[in-house]
Amino acid sequence: MFRNIQLNGNIANAVKGCTEVVATTSTKAPFAGKSPKQVLPTKPIFLTNYNLQSTLLSKKALTPVTTTQVRLVHTDFKVPDYTAYRRDSVKNPSASNRDTFEKRNAFTYMVLGTAVTGTMFCAKAVVHKFVLSMAPAADVLALASIEVNLNEIPEGKNATIKWRGKPLFVRHRTSAEIQIEQNTSLSELRDPEDDSVRVQKPEWLVIIGVCTHLGCVPIANAGEWGGYYCPCHGSHYDAAGRIRKGPAPSNMEVPPYKFIDDNTLLVG
Amino acid sequence: MTSSTFSFFKAASRWSKNHKFFLTSFGVLAGGGSSIIYALEQSIHASNDAAHVAKQKWNHNGWFDTLDHASVRRGWEVYKNVCAACHSVEYLAYRELVGVCLTENEAKAEAAEQMIEDGPDETGAMFKRPGKLSDLIPKPYPNEEAARYANNGAYPPDLTYITQARIDGENYIFSLLTGYMDPPAGVVLAENQHFNPYFPGGAIGMAQALYDEIIEYEDGTPATQSQCAKDVVTFLKWCAEPEHDTRKLFAMKAFTILGVLNLVVWYLHRHYWSVMKTRKIFQSPKSLFKK
Amino acid sequence: MSIVNVLYKTVLKRPSRFFVVVAVTSLFFERTVDIGIESLYDRINRGKQWKDISSKYE
């Protein structure tokens, strides 16, 4: 054991983290019969007193310096204690870790499952909020539909109401008008649509008051058919809002509407 | 002293000129900006000779406490019968009261009582029509000038967001409404001014608005001055923060879920990093062991 | 074999099964948390919210 050790100058760095005594210049032990080739350091450093003092850890630690032995055992080196990181089930040295493997794994997987579930809950809430922000605002929605009080519209009159920025015609038709419109044959019409398709209740005609030609607002109770007359380019509509004469290509549009009760109409 | 003593300062000597200029400007701007904000904040407090407002125990104070909607409903009654004579809530629409303090039919009826200007009609003229749910609550004055003219130059502020617009909004408004008193000796008020110790300066253009029994509550609650003040403040709190109840419900959900996630993430972090954190590392240079 | 071992073998061991089970659980979890917390919130604020008093005015 007590052989001369040969150290190079970097040994001090090398032994810092090492807890065992290291026999340096470890060459293979010579076997009988076959002697291995000796590899010698190219430039041996002679272990003189002066040499060791200048290369090893510190002068203090190594005094008195002998040339026969240098012990590099560091008993003050603290091995870190990782017990806190170990699970209780594997702390018992006489029990097999394999017995509790599934239990330990199951716990971690269940925690992982909880994490994924919670994250999905949050992600869904966030996505939901962002998607909802694309929906129309409440004030826009409040204007999207209007209620019309039908009591205020006498028979034979046409009420004009603003709805989504457009004029809405609500016409209380007389029985004579109803009679005429219902008996109009489809062959007379440019844009054939039966009266029953255009109204829900025969007395009430609900249309968007925009001429289908160039978007003027027609005048009610005017024109050759007594329905609507567009003053811009002379389109004539009948009392069902159907185009009869003039440049307009199609009938006036019927918006979605329903009767909440006998006197209230909900448009939109 | 050797130069190594000043190694701490030597770091700056290696900086480029631009680097130094940038850091110096940043420091000056940040410091100056903070000082200005601090000075402005202090000057506000310094100019404020108003009495300190008492902290009231609002029953929506807790983290998870909703507004008391019966109180909001009474507060709406107080607002429309008392405050609405001078103060607007111009950003509030009738439809927003539905499901908060009025039923849909009640809100429709209240809206229909107001004549709202609409138009232009086919002749181009503006016209009046009964209000609808989508209408905003009408203002007492058409514009600020009219409001000032009618109130001796004082402008009754809009109340929609007033609890947010005053420091310690709810308590301040409550104290202001209930704090009117005769001016102490030596305080001279101008004509049409009133003394209120909670108002900065003490002289306020607004007369005392709330007295005992000034209105009669529909639900029979005794309409004392403080009851009216409390109710109208609760209403204004809702008005400024209509999302109040939903927000607190959401907070409750968030605390629950994030609380669970916090524990879970702590465990998983420890689990995944335990491999890294329990490694022992030592060097074995080739020169030493592989000769 | 305890219930944990059964759970481990049936659900947790295979990632495919694990994530299917997690996805399905999330659906129920969300409903449960929503309903649970909302009912707790309503209980804390009993008598204060509009839905508690609206019946008086309709």
Domain boundaries defined on chain A: 73-135, 146-267
Give strand pairing partners of B130: B115
Average pLDDT score over residue span B243-269: 95
For domain A146-267, give the CATH superfamily: Rieske [2Fe-2S] iron-sulphur domain (2.102.10.10)
pLDDT-derived band at A150, boundaries 50, 70, 90: confident
- Is B101 annotated to bind a ligand? Reply is no
Residue type, C13: K
- Is B83 annotated to bind a ligand? Reply is yes
Assess whether pLDDT exceeds 60 at residue B134. Answer: yes
In tens, the pLDDT along B192-241 reads: 899 999 998 889 999 999 999 999 999 899 999 999 999 999 999 999 99
Average pLDDT score over residue span B257-277: 93
Domain formed by A73-135, architecture: Up-down Bundle (1.20)
pLDDT-derived band at C21, boundaries 50, 70, 90: very high
Most C CBs within 10 A among B58, B61, B64, B66, hence the mutation to make, goes to B66
Identify the chains in contact with A, defined as 3+ C-beta pairs within 8 A.
B, C
Are B70 and C40 inside 8 Å of each other by CB?
A: no
Assess whether pLDDT exceeds 70 at residue C25. Answer: yes
Of C2, C22, C30, the CB nearest to A113: C22
- Asked whether this complex has an ipTM greater than 0.85, the answer is yes
Return the active site residues of A: 233
Q: Which chain A residues are closer than 8 Å to C21 by Cβ?
A: 113
Q: Which chain C residues are closer than 8 Å to B219 by Cβ?
A: 56
Are A121 and C21 inside 8 Å of each other by CB?
A: no
The angle subtended at Cα B274 by Cα B268 and Cα B275, nearest 5°, is 120
Q: Would you tell me the crossing angle of helices B225-240 and B69-81 to the nearest 10 degrees?
A: 100
Are C9 and A109 inside 8 Å of each other by CB?
A: no
Of A80, A121, A142, the CB nearest to B257: A121
Our CA-based measurement puts residue C21 at a distance from the nearest CA of chain A, in whole angstroms, of: 9
**What percent of chain B shows pLDDT beyond 70?**
91
Q: Which chain B residues are closer than 8 Å to A80 by Cβ?
A: 280
Q: Note the pLDDT of residue A54.
A: 61
pLDDT-derived band at A50, boundaries 50, 70, 90: low
Q: Does C44 touch chain B (CB under 8 A)?
A: yes
Distances (CA, A) of A133 to A137, B275, C8: 8, 44, 42
Q: Note the pLDDT of residue A206.
A: 87
Are A17 and B95 inside 8 Å of each other by CB?
A: no
Q: Which chain C residues are closer than 8 Å to A110 by Cβ?
A: 7, 12
In tens, the pLDDT along A240-261 reads: 888 888 888 888 888 888 888 8
Prediction pTM value: 0.72
